[in-house]
Amino acid sequence: MINIYGVNQFPGRVLHSHEFRGADEFFNLNLLLIGGSYSVDDIAVQCYKFGARSVTISARCRPFHYKWPTQVKEVPELIRMEGRTAHFKDGSSTDNIDAIIFCTGYRHSYPFMAKQFDLRCGVTEFVPGDLYKSIFWMSQPSLAYLDAPRQIYTFPMFDIQAALVRDVFLGHVKLPDCTHWQKDVDK
């Protein structure tokens, strides 16, 4: 996570988006989301739908300029926290923050996998080149990676990928022969 003055003394919950498990735990809370890409808007929408009192999105880059509901607002970069008050680069502030969620990116890491199965995805790669349908590893078809593509609306995609993997592994969906996979990957 980024080091921002006062966050270490913040009396509420602080987490990174990779620890986010569901929006229901943020019901009726005032949230501060820090980040400027896909996971921040995924989490903002989910928390709004599950009844967060307010969602404040702080980004150092360009705002999204979405037509957010009134409970969701975009603000400039967070420069410091004082108690439950967030102070932003433009001099504005937001009071009564209950939780801070950092949505500041991540790297894929599979430390529990043997080295020969460790998926590598470069910074500029959208999808690792050896995954059929961005999920199934061509060298080992019974091995599936969820969330391998970069820059995708993550949580809805996780659900769809998990359902496909489940159906393939249960035999409800049959994948084509591996010889056809490379043609699909090359598209």
Sheet of strand 93-94: strand arrangement: 78-82, 85-88, 93-94
Averaged pLDDT score across all residues of the chain: 86
Residue 5 gets which letter from DSSP? B
Span 144-161, mean pLDDT?
A: 75
Where are the chain's structural domains? 7-102, 115-186
For domain 7-102, the CATH superfamily is: FAD/NAD(P)-binding domain (3.50.50.60)
Q: What is the pLDDT of residue 116?
A: 79
Beta bridge partners of 72: 55
Which residue matches tokens 């995708």?
A: 152
Between 32-36, 95-99, 101-105, 124-128, the lowest mean confidence (pLDDT) is in: 124-128
Both ends of the chain: CA-CA distance in Å? 36
Which residue(s) pair with 58 in the sheet? Answer: 34, 75
Query: For 134, what's the count of Cα atoms within 13 Å in the CB-facing half-sphere?
Result: 16
Res 78 pLDDT > 70: yes
Q: Is the pLDDT assigned to residue 91 strictly greater than 70? A: yes
Model confidence at 175: pLDDT above 80: yes
pLDDT per residue over 50-74, tens digit each?
A: 999 999 999 988 767 788 899 999 9
The number of angstroms, rounded, from the C-alpha of 142 to the middle of its chain's C-alpha atoms is 26
pTM of the model: 0.66
Indicate the pLDDT class of residue 153, thresholds 50, 70 and 90: low
Per-residue confidence (pLDDT) for residue 89, from 0 to 100: 95
pLDDT digits (tens, 9 = 90+) for 18-32: 899 999 999 999 999
